[in-house]
């Protein structure tokens, strides 16, 4: 009985995941993503000539031996509830989809955890990173938008350095806001850094995650022998048949973690 009682005591050295949110190809939330994993569902699609053309590519590239007309697509990257987050239409239009969806996932993760940043005194931090903004290239080529808002506003809305500070501002978070960039390991390093911040009492709750969305989805890509890109758009990690990673990537996720929960209430 004594051991059981001790196990029920709050332990400030334990960390629990208390909320999650994500967007992956063919998965709009963690439940759908988990079902896809359990079913062995692959989200790689074959792109038609129309798909490639709509994405700004050239269907004639199919004739080239190193062109891959397959890939993954994240649905609804052009959808964003701007009024909900207090964005005017123009600001929403120039904001990188990676940052739009990361903001949505951050809000959903807090909602899933049952925490309202406007209530209580918990210090909530946010740690994360994003890929290079391909959306910025589209904006630069749009003379009307550039003339209307200017380079500074466009750069501010797409620079990945502002990913976490924007979330902190929009959601009224008072803890650390740290944007992390370590290429492919960014999300994992963000989680590790968030845990360190919790254990050092720099915040009480932390959001951690990442976002990588290619704006011109469906265009296909080129690969070369010995390069990082997979010749069939499939990523076979730790497999003898592994021949590269999927490119380009499209996903966004966020998790809420906190310090000091009863050790028996969660399993990692």
pLDDT tens-digit series, residues 182-233: 988 999 999 999 999 999 999 999 999 999 998 888 899 999 888 889 999 9
Measure the CA–CA gap between 114 and 109, rounded to whole angstroms: 9
59 vs 121, higher pLDDT: 59
pLDDT tens per residue, range 58-99:
999 999 999 999 999 999 999 999 999 999 999 999 999 999
CATH number 3.40.47.10 given to 14-37+47-265? yes
Name the pLDDT band for 155 (thresholds 50, 70, 90): very high
Smallest Cα–Cα separation from 154: which of 103, 101, 216, 91?
Answer: 91
Looking at residue 14, what is its pLDDT?
86
User: Per-domain residue ranges for the chain?
Assistant: 14-37+47-265
Asked whether 258 and 21 are in contact (CB, 8 A), the reply is no
Mean residue pLDDT of the chain comes to 88
Judged by average pLDDT, the poorest of 12-16, 70-74, 153-157 is 12-16
Please compute the mean of the pLDDT values over residues 138-151 and round it to a whole number. 93
Mean pLDDT score, 161-171:
96
- How many Å separate Cα 66 from the centre of its chain? 29
Residues in the chain: 268
Please tell me the predicted confidence (pLDDT) of residue 9.
Answer: 53
Report pLDDT for 33. 94
| Portion of the chain with pLDDT greater than 90, in percent | 71
pLDDT of residue 237: 85
pLDDT at 119: 86
Q: Quote the pLDDT of residue 51.
A: 92
Token pair for residue 59? 């269907």
- Specify the pLDDT at position 6: 53
Please report which confidence band the pLDDT of residue 267 belongs to, taking 50, 70 and 90 as the band edges. Answer: very low
């Amino acid at each position: 009985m004594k051991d059981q009682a001790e196990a029920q005591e709050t332990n400030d050295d334990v960390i629990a995941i208390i909320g999650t949110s994500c967007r992956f190809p063919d998965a709009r939330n963690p439940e759908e993503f988990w079902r896809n994993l359990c079913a062995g569902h692959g989200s790689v699609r074959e792109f038609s000539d129309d798909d490639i053309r709509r994405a700004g590519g050239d269907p004639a590239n199919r004739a080239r031996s190193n062109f891959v007309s397959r890939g993954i697509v994240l649905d609804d990257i052009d959808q964003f509830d701007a009024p909900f987050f207090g964005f005017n239409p123009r600001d929403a239009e120039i904001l990188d989809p990676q940052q739009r969806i990361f903001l949505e996932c951050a809000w959903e993760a807090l909602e899933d955890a049952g925490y309202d940043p406007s209530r209580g005194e918990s210090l909530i931090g946010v740690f994360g990173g994003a890929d290079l903004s391909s959306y910025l290239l589209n904006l630069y080529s749009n003379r009307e938008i550039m003339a209307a808002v200017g380079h500074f506003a466009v750069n501010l809305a797409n620079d990945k350095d502002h990913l976490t500070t924007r979330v902190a501002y929009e959601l009224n978070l008072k803890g650390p806001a740290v944007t992390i960039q370590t290429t492919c390991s960014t999300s994992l390093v963000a989680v590790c850094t968030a845990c360190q911040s919790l254990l050092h009492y720099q915040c009480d709750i932390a959001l951690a995650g990442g976002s990588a969305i290619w704006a011109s989805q469906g265009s296909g890509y080129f690969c070369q022998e010995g390069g990082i890109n997979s010749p069939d758009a499939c990523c076979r990690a730790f497999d003898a048949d592994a021949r590269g990673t999927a490119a380009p990537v499209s996903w966004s996720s966020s998790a809420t973690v906190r310090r000091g929960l009863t050790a028996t209430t969660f399993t990692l």
